Chain A
Amino acid sequence: MAVATERKTSSVGPLWLERVPGGWWALLFVLLTAPVWANDFFLFQVMGWTFILGIIALSLMFLAGLGGMVSLLQMSVAALAGYMVAIFGTSGVTEISMGLPWWVNIPVAIVIAAIFATLVGALAVRTEGIYTIMITLAIAAAFFYFTRQNYGIFNGYSGFNLVVPPELFGVDWRRPVPFYYLTLGCAAVCYAAVVYVSRAPFGLALQGVRDNPRRMAALGYNVTAHRIAAYSFAGVIAAIGGILLVWQNAQISPGTAGIPAVIDILVIAVVGGLARPIGPFIGALIYVLLRTFSPDFLLAFGLSGERFKLIIGLGFLAVVFFSPDGVLGLWERWKERRRQAKDPLTGAGG
């Protein structure tokens, strides 16, 4: 029987531009025109940071949401990429930095970070799923302690400073508006990549591995290899986030990948929602807004501005208790309720 060419919805077919709902176009418009109505602080500090954290949390969402592997390694992979850019490129620590040009140090950094992710993945995937958190957390901690005590490569406590993006096409990419577009662009690319891959054979197989690894093995898939490959792919995404992060701060130190930062990425991904790639970005926006504005909020109540950690922790606990699938889950349930609120007989109401 011939394959019907006019299939209505092809679940394994290509992406059609027409199927993108209107809300997305509005969002795109707002994002592209942001420099018109937002100030420099908002563009660079709030949105820039949102995109960066969103990218790193996206790599966690890929592993956890699509692959069922909750990896706390992503921040460390990102930091490693940042460190490699500092070491292979230029920084204020001239004894260690090699001063190679951007078209060498950026790819090298991404490759090294991806290799690191792959090796850790190879260690972590042969154990039961619940161990993944433990193992990746332990390795992330080892990474933190190592960068802190090692001076030959990582310059210990001080880390690297004066790490800035290269000047390309005559633009200083660290100025607020260019940096905003840079991070927006990278976030869009990473987002699109995850959306695309999740319906490609690799992504589909990864979801199969998540749902039923035994069945996947019985269908001819090498489950272990697939999981490790997922770590590699996620590692590349995290590396991109890490490079943008080091450029934003113009410095990197062990604290960048300290345990609090590692846990923050998990918080962001979970609060946003692990079900779809937009979740991490939602979570990142919430986190950044809280981080930026809660000190003022706290001071108004007479508490020290440093208690924002407490607010984030309590918020995270609330999410885990009441809506474990995050903000995305809340939204899905709200949509469902609205749909059901319509009178089933007359279609009115709602």
Chain B
Amino acid sequence: MSLAAPRDAGERLGSVSSGNALELRGVTKLFGALAAIRDVTMTVRSGERRAVLGSNGAGKTTLFNCVTGDFLPTSGTIRLFGEDVTRFPAYERIRRGLRRTYQISLLFNGLTVTDNVYLACRGVSRDRFSLLRPRQGDVLVARADELIEAVHLTSARDTAVANLSYGQQRQLEIALALAGAPRLILFDEPAAGLSPTERAELVSILNGLPEHIGYIIIEHDMDVALRVAERVTMMHNGLVFKEGTPEEIENDAEVQELYLGGGHG
């Protein structure tokens, strides 16, 4: 998979000096009186593979929404590759190397697989306003084809999204996140609804990503999460309550009590 491809000219890739892909400091999001996340402080290094686990309502998706810019945090700062992006609109963060997949696939139902992936490639390039159709041999068209190949959707290339199977849609969802030159990807429950074979494939795709691409994965499926992560962050009721390696987390008594229902593995 040629994702170590050279950076696209349109992306604004600032300095990677701090070595941290993501720095959250005291991030809180209130909905009225409800604190969806509270005082979250978290640091993810460049290229790190992190899992964020927790029960429903722990605030994981809200955390993602704050990082991508869907929500404005009530307080706290968010730094992406050393830059303070707390008040940036979503597209500015994307152009700095952030990507995301969604729990419920957000795809363009009226367009084909190729169109979907091509749009993703275009989004982070220059010429996204181009009125001219791409010429034969256009770089981005080729890149889109490669991505489709990488997620094993070549046979469904010209199918409209509405006609894809659930598993194929999830694969497409991942392809969209791999477009351009991602540096940090947020995967929101990518294994949801997948069969065991598909899950194994997902794990191999995730583990096969180039080293410079870091990701944060939200998952309910502990097996998948612990197999693809270097570090785990546990959330509960909007707070980060534990952080450690997969082994530490698995064997932690508090985690077992709260999340695994006492005794696991």
| Other-chain contact of B124, A5, A219, A233 (Cβ < 8 Å) | A219
Among the listed A14, A201, A207, A215, which residue makes an inter-chain contact with B130, where contact means beta carbons less than 8 Å apart?
A201
Cβ–Cβ contact A204 & B118, under 8 A: yes
* 1/0 contact string of B139-156 vs chain A (CB within 8 Å): 001101110010000000
Contact A14 B136 (CB under 8 A): yes
A214 within 8 A of B: yes
Identify which of residues 173-214 in chain A touch chain B, using a CB-to-CB cut-off of 8 Å: 196-197, 199-202, 204-205, 207-208, 211-212, 214
Q: Does A218 contact B (CB under 8 A)?
A: yes
In the complex, are the beta carbons of B90 and A14 less than 8 A apart?
A: no
User: Is A202 touching B129 in the complex (CB atoms < 8 A)?
Assistant: yes
Residue on A nearest B133 in the bound complex, by CB: A200
Q: Which of A55-63, A158-166, A221-229, A243-251 contacts B (4 or more CB under 8 A)?
A: A221-229
A220 contact from B91, B115, B118, B134, Cβ within 8 A = B91
Residue of B with least CB distance to A225: B129
Decide: A220 near B133, CB < 8 A? Known: A11-B112, A201-B127.
no
- Flag whether B89 is at the interface (Cβ < 8 A): yes
B131 touches A219 (CB 8 A): no
Are B91 and A204 closer than 8 Å at their CB atoms? no
CB distance from A188 to the nearest CB of B (A): 18
How many residues of B are counted as interface, with CB atoms below 8 angstroms from the partner's CB atoms? 47
Give complex CA distance A217, B142 in Å: 23
Residues of chain B with a CB closer than 8 A to A215's CB: 102, 106-108, 176
* CB-based contact A11/B114 at 8 Å: yes
A212–B133 CB distance below 8 A: no
Cross-chain contact B119 with A219 (CB below 8 angstroms): yes
Q: Closest B residue to A203 by CB, please name it.
A: B131
Q: Is B111 interfacial (CB 8 A cutoff)?
A: yes
CB B115 to nearest CB in A, in angstroms, measures 6
Q: Is B128 an interface residue (CB 8 A)?
A: yes
A170 at interface by CB-CB < 8 Å: no
A14 and B138 alpha carbons, distance in the complex (Å): 11
B249 to chain A, nearest CB (A): 29
B146 close to A1 (CB less than 8 A)? yes
Closest chain B CB from A221 CB (angstroms): 5
CA distance in complex: A212, B107 (Å): 7
A226 to B131, CA, bound (A): 12
Whether the Cβ atoms of A218 and B114 lie closer than 8 Å is: no
Q: Is residue B132 contacting chain A, with contact meaning CB distance below 8 A?
A: yes
Contact B133 A205 (CB under 8 A): no
Report the minimal beta-carbon distance from A280 to chain B, rounded to whole angstroms. Answer: 20
- Which of A200, A205, A217, A226 has most B Cβ within 10 Å? A217
Q: How far is the CA of A201 from the CA of B141 in the complex (A)?
A: 11
Of chain B, the residue at the smallest CB distance from A210 is B110
- A-B pairs with beta carbons under 8 A, tally: 114
A12-B114, A216-B123, A220-B124 given; A211·B109 CB < 8 A: yes
- Residues from chain A with a CB closer than 8 A to the CB of B144 are 12
Cα distance, A4 to B137, chains bound together (Å): 10
The yes or no answer to B100 lying at the interface (CB within 8 A) is: yes
A202 touches which one: B109, B114, B131 (CB < 8 A)? B131
Contact yes or no, B94 A219, CB < 8 A: yes
B220 smallest CB distance to A (angstroms): 22
- In the assembled complex, B68 has its CB within 8 A of some CB on chain A: yes
In this assembly, does A32 line the interface, its C-beta being within 8 Å of a C-beta of chain B? no
Q: Is the CB of A27 closer than 8 A to any CB of chain B?
A: no
Decide yes or no whether A3 CB sits under 8 A from chain B. yes
Q: Could you tell me if B180 and A199 are in contact, using CB atoms closer than 8 angstroms?
A: no
The answer to the question of B95 belonging to the interface, with a C-beta cut-off of 8 Å to chain A, is: yes
Contact A12 B118 (CB under 8 A): yes
CB-defined contacts of B211 to chain A, threshold 8 Å: none
Given that A1-B146, A205-B119, A220-B180 are known contacts, is A200 also in contact with B137, CB under 8 Å in the complex? no
Closest chain B residue, CB of each to CB of A226: B129
Assembly CA distance A219 to B108 (angstroms): 12
Chain B residue nearest to A222 in the complex (CB): B91
Let me know if A13 is at the binding interface, CB within 8 A: yes
> Known contacts A208-B108, A219-B119; is A3 also within 8 Å of B142 by CB?
yes
B209 beta carbon closer than 8 Å to chain A: no
A229-B114 CB under 8 A given contacts A218-B68, A219-B119, A221-B91:
no
A200 touches B132 (CB 8 A): yes
B158 at the interface (CB under 8 A from A): yes
- Kindly list chain B residues whose C-beta atoms are within 8 Å of the C-beta of A317: none
> Are A14 and B94 CB-contacts (below 8 A) given A205-B122, A207-B108?
no
User: Given the complex of chains A and B, what is the CA–CA distance between A1 and B146 in angstroms?
Assistant: 7
Complex-state Cα separation, A229 to B142, whole angstroms: 27
Cα A226 to Cα B89 with chains together (Å): 15
Task: Using known A-B contacts A220-B94, A220-B95, determine if residue A208 contacts B131 with beta carbons closer than 8 Å.
Answer: no
Q: Is B135 an interface residue (CB 8 A)?
A: yes
Q: How far is the CB of B125 from chain A (nearest CB, A)?
A: 8
Ordered by A's residue number, 8 sampled pairs between the chains whose C-beta atoms are within 8 Å are: A12-B141, A14-B135, A196-B133, A207-B110, A207-B111, A211-B111, A219-B176, A220-B94
The 6 closest A-B CB pairs, nearest first, are A219-B123, A220-B123, A220-B94, A217-B90, A215-B106, A220-B124
Question: Which A residues have a C-beta under 8 Å from some C-beta of B?
Answer: 1, 3-5, 9, 11-15, 196-197, 199-202, 204-205, 207-208, 211-212, 214-223, 225-226, 229, 233
| Chain B residues near A (Cβ < 8 Å) | 68-70, 89-91, 94-95, 99-100, 102, 106-112, 114-115, 118-120, 122-124, 127-137, 141-142, 144-146, 149, 158, 176, 179-180
Beyond A1-B149, A201-B134, 5 additional pairs, beta carbon < 8 A: A12-B133, A200-B130, A200-B132, A211-B110, A218-B99
